[in-house]
Structure 1
Amino acid sequence: MEKPDTIRERLDLALEAAGLDFWENDLVSGTVIHKATRIFSELGYSDEDAPYLVDDLLSLVHPQDIPVIKEAIEQHLQGRSAQYRCEFRIRSKSGDWVWYANYGKVMDGDNQAGRRFIGVTFNINDRKSQEELLKRTNRALHVISRCHRLIHNIDDENELLQEICRIIVENGGYRMAWVGFAQNDLEKTVEPMAYAGFEAGYLEKLHISWNDAEDNDSPTGKAIRSGEVMVIRGIANNPDADSWRSIALERGFSSAISIPLRIEGQSIGNLNIYSDEYHAFDSEEIDLLKQLAADLSFGISHIRNKIKARITEETIEHLAHYDALTDLPNRTLFSHYLQQALAISKRSNSRFAVMFIDVDNFKPINDKLGHDVGDLLLAEVAKRLRLSLRESDIAARFGGDEFLVLLPTIESDDDARIVADKIADSLRLPFPIADNAIRISASIGIAIYPDNGHDENYLIRNADMAMYKAKREETPVCFYAE
């Protein structure tokens, strides 16, 4: 029969080989029969530290895990669990949190039931790390999926940025997220555009810049300058966080990542994410978040391109119907309004007027003062035309120094004369252009529907003829008369 010492030696070797640290407590006397000490060497503590740490083990346990340990022990001692099992974190000498597990059971001893509390402590950090990796990976995948759907369903850039930040925080479990755009001002600032999560004035206090000053340790600035992802793990001890450590820790930020947003090869800004986990942002998580940033960059580019296309389309549409110099409707759009007036007047048996206006002696002014001054004069004439008309009236540029006006509703010829006189009086006032007080006059011809024509061509032609009669008679306004 083997000696007890031999059996004990083999048991110790088996426990060591299995990575198990044995412990035993006497529940009757309250004494510790065998202390777990091996874990302290694993955690980097010296042999001199171990005796003191054993007696005050809970001081090394993560504060969130202490209630968990106590509850597990209570459950087992009260017989509500067949075995005591608990997982918890212990602070290592370096300050890292390392995961351990306790498995134990209350057993009989010295003819007393339930006297001995025996168990083992062992390192589960690798398993927990894999679980955390899987959790973070799944979390990032979920965020990417949600954001991908969002990117294709939002046309407003600000709304897109805000929703992306919200999803990162709410669905990704991160502490805070924000998007900033690089500005090309003298200080090369980074302007926050959207954020979600526990911000609490963080961005206002940060004063972020992407300049290349030696004391600029901002990961946001570095990522924009380099176009590379910047990761800061362990903000509490990382020298790259010296200038912003305190305000980050106040908000529970333990790690941070800054991912450049790139469009057409240029960094336009950053997606910035903060975690309360010390060792967040492993390589797999970084790759997924880089994909998210690429998707966001695509979304921003897509929205901006759509806006550019819409502006281009609207510009082309505008140029097709408005005069480039005066921004008045051109002949094509005026024709459309005139056709509408004809249709309405025919149905309602109402009257309207068409005016043909020519700027007198424009050519000598244009030749003397130059085409630039001539263009400015025509633009000012157009402005005075608008100011002289009623809200329902339409002014258009016919070409050169000639303009058309449509009065879509008149009760009598006098209504048209009142407007024409107002136009003529307005145009006789001097035009202060390029250090010149330019004086002009205008000849205005008027044709009335249905008296002077029943279609567009006749009405414009007859108004033109009336304008020439006004010129010949040297009178500002003349009505068409057969």
Structure 2
Amino acid sequence: MAKDGFGKDPERDFRELLDSSPDCVLVTDYDTHRYLYVNHTSCVMTGYGLQELLSMHVSELTLQSEAEIRETYERARQAGERGYTEEPQLLLSKDRSRRGWWESNLRFKVIGGQEVIVIVSREVTPRILAERAASRATKIYAALSSANEAIIHSSSSEELFQAVCDAAIESGGMTTAAMLMPAPGSDLMELQAMAGKGRDTMEVAVISTDPQRPEGRGLIGKAFRTGKPSITDDYLQDTRTTHWHTLVRDRTQIRSAASVPIIRHGRSVGALYLCSRERRAFDEEIIGLLVRMAGNLSFALQNFEHEEKRREAEERAHYLATHCGLTGLPNRNLLTDLLGQAIASVGRTGHRPAIMFIDLDRFKEINDAWGHDTGDGVLQKTSGRLREVLREHDVLARLGGDEFVVLVQNIDHQDHAVRVAEKLLAASKEPVVVEGQPFTVTLSIGISLYPEHGIHPTDLMKAADLAMYVAKDKGKATWALSGEGRPQAIQ
């Protein structure tokens, strides 16, 4: 054995050296694009035999066009000794059992007077997958950030759900994003918001939470039931999604999908559903980020609920401060505000308001004889009947006890106010029935007009109050106009 260099057959030794390389080494003719040499690794990785490869055209293996090959070879020639490195390509073996990403370096050489391209191709699948996973994670981080910003700025769950779906598409790189929640009293999931492709599919797809139904065995139903993410890396081959294969196959390009439950108080209240064109798009890191997103959504829903309760309490407090608890009519505070607004608008509209003070005649007798519960019923029935007589924009208010006030809008003449008073008196002639007992309640009405009897709310209210006592003292069941010393008879 020689001490230096190769043995007695250097060419054979050199071939064995190349065959032992983990990289594919191939030599092609520069002009014909035919393989002149391939090492053993090339045969193993491609699944083709040596003679098969040596009889092949480069385009048959790489699936590139003649024009693409010529352009690549020319770049290698221009690159000189440093060679030209192609972008990684996804290649399949002969029997399609092996699939991976390969990065090739091409160098132009003249060997024995023949122009050739020497190709050293290395599998970079782990690197490409890692880069893609990192890219996906970066996009989901961006989507998470956008979702968190939406939580801050959204004023409703509907607005938030749509913002999250939009973020998953625009920042997260997803193909489809949807938010679903169960319909009240049903096992069916309803679409709350969506972005991306497949809207026509999502709108007609039946999705259930019931595992006994085929519609409930998919990713969304399982995630909702278990409270854990549900994932598929091959949607159209997954038996859990069989029910939707026909619907999805011709309409979308789903490769992988995931559903993440929205948990509140330890139970599922909804599900975030995402689809991607890429296989294995939902690795452990991505799912972790989506779970964080779902947790933030749950927190936002809790805040919306607290805000809704606070707003309802505030509205209730305002209602109680401005309305009668028994009849639901405006009280003195609200009536004063509305009268002030009516007076302020006179200069703009030319329509004047009138005030009518109403007292229920002999109501105290009913209260004393039949009790407060019956008395309250009479007040409620009477107020409802008076409200029916008035126009929609007139205001009936209760000041307390058996005292009511009507703010009549748009009075152009005194006779208009009188006609309203007569309608109210006519309505009171029919008895109201409370717990099967009829009660006839007549009215005493005092009328004041703007501006004849006052230009301020307090002046008008006082004038109408005094006129009401005139009507009551002069026989009841009638009306009186402010400033008159005797009641006006009903014509």
Q: Give the structure 1 partner of residue 238 of structure 2.
A: 238
User: Structure 1: which amino acid aligns with 2:171?
Assistant: N
1:352-391 CA distance string (max 9 Å, x none)? 6432223345567779999777656544433443343456
Q: Give the structure 1 partner of residue 319 of structure 2.
A: 318
Q: Give the structure 2 partner of residue 446 of structure 1.
A: 447
Distance 1:222 1:237 in 2: 17
Q: CA deviation at 1:23?
A: 1.8
| Partner of residue 7 from structure 2, selected from 3, 6, 10 | 3
The alpha-carbon distance between structure 1 residues 148 and 457, as it changes in their structure 2 partners (threshold 3 A), is: closer
Question: Equivalent residues in 2 for 1:365-404 (5 A)?
Answer: 375=376, 378-389=379-390, 393-404=394-405
Q: Give the structure 2 partner of residue 255 of structure 1.
A: 256
| Partner of residue 105 from structure 1, selected from 99, 103, 107 | 107
Distance 1:342 1:201 in 2: 56
Identity rate, percent = 28
For the 8 Å contact 1:182–1:190, the answer to whether it is kept is yes
Q: Give the structure 2 partner of residue 163 of structure 1.
A: 163
Q: Give the structure 2 partner of residue 212 of structure 1.
A: 211
User: Structure 1: which amino acid aligns with 2:158?
Assistant: N
Q: What CA RMSD, in Å, does the superposition of the two structures yield over aligned residues?
A: 4.1
Question: Equivalent residues in 2 for 1:178-197 (5 A)?
Answer: 178-186=178-186, 188-197=187-196
For the 8 Å contact 2:327–2:380, the answer to whether it is kept is yes
- Secondary structure, aligned partner of 1:152: helix
The alpha-carbon distance between structure 1 residues 80 and 150, as it changes in their structure 2 partners (threshold 3 A), is: farther
Q: CA deviation at 1:285?
A: 1.4
Q: CA deviation at 1:89?
A: 1.0
- Secondary structure, aligned partner of 2:126: helix
Q: CA deviation at 1:2?
A: 2.6
The alpha-carbon distance between structure 1 residues 466 and 13, as it changes in their structure 2 partners (threshold 3 A), is: same
For the 8 Å contact 1:177–1:272, the answer to whether it is kept is yes
- Secondary structure, aligned partner of 2:280: coil
Which has the larger displacement, 411-420 or 126-135?
411-420
Q: How many residues align?
A: 471
For the 8 Å contact 2:443–2:477, the answer to whether it is kept is no
- Secondary structure, aligned partner of 1:174: coil
Matched, 1:131 2:131: yes
- Secondary structure, aligned partner of 2:288: helix
Q: Give the structure 1 partner of residue 489 of structure 2.
A: none
- Secondary structure, aligned partner of 1:243: helix
Distance 1:57 1:279 in 2: 31
For the 8 Å contact 2:24–2:39, the answer to whether it is kept is yes
- Secondary structure, aligned partner of 2:278: coil
User: Structure 2: which amino acid aligns with 1:134?
Assistant: A
Q: Give the structure 2 partner of residue 175 of structure 1.
A: 175
Matched, 1:24 2:27: yes
Distance 2:156 2:449 in 1: 49
Distance 2:25 2:302 in 1: 61
Q: CA deviation at 1:246?
A: 3.7
Structure 1 gaps, min length 5: none
For the 8 Å contact 2:394–2:407, the answer to whether it is kept is yes
For the 8 Å contact 2:354–2:409, the answer to whether it is kept is yes
Which has the larger displacement, 4-13 or 170-179?
4-13
Distance 2:312 2:25 in 1: 74
- Secondary structure, aligned partner of 2:224: helix
Q: CA deviation at 1:240?
A: 2.4
Distance 1:287 1:430 in 2: 71
- Secondary structure, aligned partner of 2:236: coil
For the 8 Å contact 1:235–1:255, the answer to whether it is kept is yes
Q: Give the structure 2 partner of residue 476 of structure 1.
A: 478
Structure 2 gaps, min length 5: 486-491
For the 8 Å contact 2:36–2:54, the answer to whether it is kept is no
Q: Give the structure 1 partner of residue 418 of structure 2.
A: 417
Q: CA deviation at 1:437?
A: 7.1
Q: Give the structure 1 partner of residue 74 of structure 2.
A: 77
For the 8 Å contact 2:154–2:160, the answer to whether it is kept is yes
- Secondary structure, aligned partner of 1:323: coil
Which has the larger displacement, 418-427 or 27-36?
27-36
The alpha-carbon distance between structure 1 residues 30 and 101, as it changes in their structure 2 partners (threshold 3 A), is: closer
The alpha-carbon distance between structure 1 residues 126 and 454, as it changes in their structure 2 partners (threshold 3 A), is: closer
1:241-289 CA distance string (max 9 Å, x none)? 2222343343111000111122333322111111111111111111122
Q: CA deviation at 1:312?
A: 2.4
- Secondary structure, aligned partner of 1:294: helix
The alpha-carbon distance between structure 1 residues 15 and 333, as it changes in their structure 2 partners (threshold 3 A), is: same
